[in-house]
Amino acid sequence: MQFGTFFRENLRLSFASIVGNRLRSILTITIIAIGILSLVGIVTAIESIKESLVESFASMGTNNFSIRDRQMFSMGRNVRTRNDNFIPYKQACEFRDRFELPATVSLSMYLGGGATARYGSNETNPNLTVAAFDENGLQNAGLELAEGRSFSKQEVERGDGVIIIGSKIAEQLFPNGERPVGKMITVSDSRYEVIGVLASRGSNFGMDNNEGLRTIVPITTAQRTFSWIRASTAITVTPTDPRLLDLAMSEAEGLFRAIRRLGANEAADFAVERSDAMIELLANDLATVTLVASIVGIITLLGAAVGLMNIMLVAVNERTREIGTRMALGAKPRMIRQQFLFESILISQLGGVCGMVLGIGCGNLIALVTDGAFVVPWGWLLIGLGLCLVVGIGSGYLPARRAAGLNPVEALRYE
């Protein structure tokens, strides 16, 4: 009961002091709030973006890996290799036929952009991309169909003139609600029958993805109709058991080195990359941004701590007679010290709570713009409260000690 009374009394005195010095208190609370806002706001936005990334890549399937032209992953490093980085379709087929672990292997090519599609009098802008898949390509790429079907094995073997188009292409070529499946369209002067329409997966970070402007043809058809394009073949492998992913990557690299006739000491002229490698790369970049935000927030809090200490020291001078009166009425130095320390902690916590509320709001506002998920970073909120507590104690200790050390008689005489 005594502790409760003591707590309520200190709380009452602290609020009275804050209200009595309204302008200075508000300025200090604002500085602390800005520090926590910069920390919590950026972390909230980053966590939301990270969740959005994980969901996007998960929908594409993160339990597979790809073998690609090494130049795509060289990051500007020039490594002398025995072979050209180009991966021929013949070698990719040999890998698919010889790979023994239980897995789904698909082959694909990127044939470039700038293509147009026509149906009757309707024509798209010259901004379509053309890709080539085998019968397993859609599954391994994590792409879904809004209507229609994927390529059959027979269509790929024969090199049939069939095509899968993106949702935006379907909207432009068939604006009156006509079903695209079964219609004949022209893409880059070649005629194809539409057998499927890709499902739209929305946008990432406020920017539309290009899946709606994508066209996909069988990989054997592409070799005939786009024979002038020298496109490297990409191999995607999805193990039947995700636990075999690392083993499958090791086996795949060894097999493809043999197919490429590379010696044991020769550098690989291809890259084996997990599908979640991009997530790890982006996560590292986001971690750097989080570190910078933390440093900015801590520096701001240090500035707020200096301001809070200054306010508390001024408060001690202005309330010297009040301190002397309380001591004369029986207040002990410990009680005076705790009163000023309590007041400092209260100001810092008020600033922290305001900063957290604003930070969560601003961070999730950014998430709303980038189609991210609503996130509350509970761990960082606890860290923020801890930092504010440290600021309050550190800023209030010296003024509280000074107030407790005043001589009651001299304090009562103070003008």
Indicate whether 219 and 287 sit together in one domain: no
Residue type, 360: I
State residue 75's pLDDT score. Answer: 41
Segment 368-383 shows an average pLDDT of 78
Indicate whether 36 and 146 sit together in one domain: no
State residue 387's pLDDT score. Answer: 81
Indicate whether 212 and 87 sit together in one domain: yes
3-state secondary structure of 115: strand
State residue 283's pLDDT score. Answer: 66
Choosing from 258, 274, 290, the residue where a domain stops is: 274
Choosing from 238, 253, 274, the residue where a domain stops is: 274
Indicate whether 226 and 361 sit together in one domain: no
Indicate whether 262 and 378 sit together in one domain: no
How far is residue 340's CA from residue 223's CA, in Å, rounded to a whole number?
Answer: 80
State residue 206's pLDDT score. Answer: 41
State residue 282's pLDDT score. Answer: 65
pLDDT in tens, 318-353: 777 777 777 777 778 888 888 888 888 888 888 889
Segment 274-287 shows an average pLDDT of 68
State residue 61's pLDDT score. Answer: 52
Indicate whether 332 and 235 sit together in one domain: no
| Count of domains forming the chain | 2
Average per-residue pLDDT for the chain: 81
Q: 310 pLDDT band (50/70/90 cuts)?
A: confident
State residue 82's pLDDT score. Answer: 52
State residue 57's pLDDT score. Answer: 58
State residue 93's pLDDT score. Answer: 94
Whether 191 contacts 134, CB under 8 Å:
no
Q: Which domain holds residue 265?
A: 64-274
Indicate whether 112 and 199 sit together in one domain: yes
Indicate whether 264 and 314 sit together in one domain: no
State residue 181's pLDDT score. Answer: 94
How far is residue 289's CA from residue 301's CA, in Å, rounded to a whole number?
Answer: 18
Higher pLDDT pick, 50 / 45: 45
Indicate whether 226 and 159 sit together in one domain: yes
State residue 217's pLDDT score. Answer: 95
Indicate whether 187 and 76 sit together in one domain: yes
Indicate whether 253 and 157 sit together in one domain: yes
pLDDT in tens, 48-91: 777 776 666 555 555 789 998 876 444 444 544 555 678 999 99
How far is residue 237's CA from residue 99's CA, in Å, rounded to a whole number?
Answer: 10
Indicate whether 285 and 256 sit together in one domain: no
Q: Give the β-pairing of 214-218 and 128-133.
A: parallel
State residue 300's pLDDT score. Answer: 72
Segment 266-294 shows an average pLDDT of 74
CA atoms within 13 A on the CB side of 99: 28
Indicate if the pLDDT at residue 369 is higher than 90. no
Residue type, 200: S
Q: 150 pLDDT band (50/70/90 cuts)?
A: very high
Indicate if the pLDDT at residue 233 is higher than 70. yes
How far is residue 119's CA from residue 207's CA, in Å, rounded to a whole number?
Answer: 27
Residue type, 59: S
How far is residue 395's CA from residue 43's CA, in Å, rounded to a whole number?
Answer: 26
Q: How is 40-94 classified by DSSP, letter by letter?
A: HHHHHHHHHHHHHHHHHHHHH-SS-EEEEEGGGGSTT-----SS-S---HHHHHH
Q: 106 pLDDT band (50/70/90 cuts)?
A: very high
State residue 393's pLDDT score. Answer: 86
State residue 400's pLDDT score. Answer: 80
- Residue 92 CB: number of other CB atoms within 10 A? 24
Choosing from 274, 306, 330, the residue where a domain stops is: 274
pLDDT in tens, 193-222: 999 999 886 544 444 456 688 999 999 999
Whether the model pTM is above 0.85 = no
Lowest mean pLDDT, pick from 123-132, 175-184, 233-242, 378-387: 378-387
pLDDT in tens, 218-229: 999 998 888 888
How far is residue 99's CA from residue 107's CA, in Å, rounded to a whole number?
Answer: 13
Q: What is the three-state SS of 253-290?
A: HHHHHHHCCCCCCCCCCEEEEECCHHHHHHHHHHHHHH
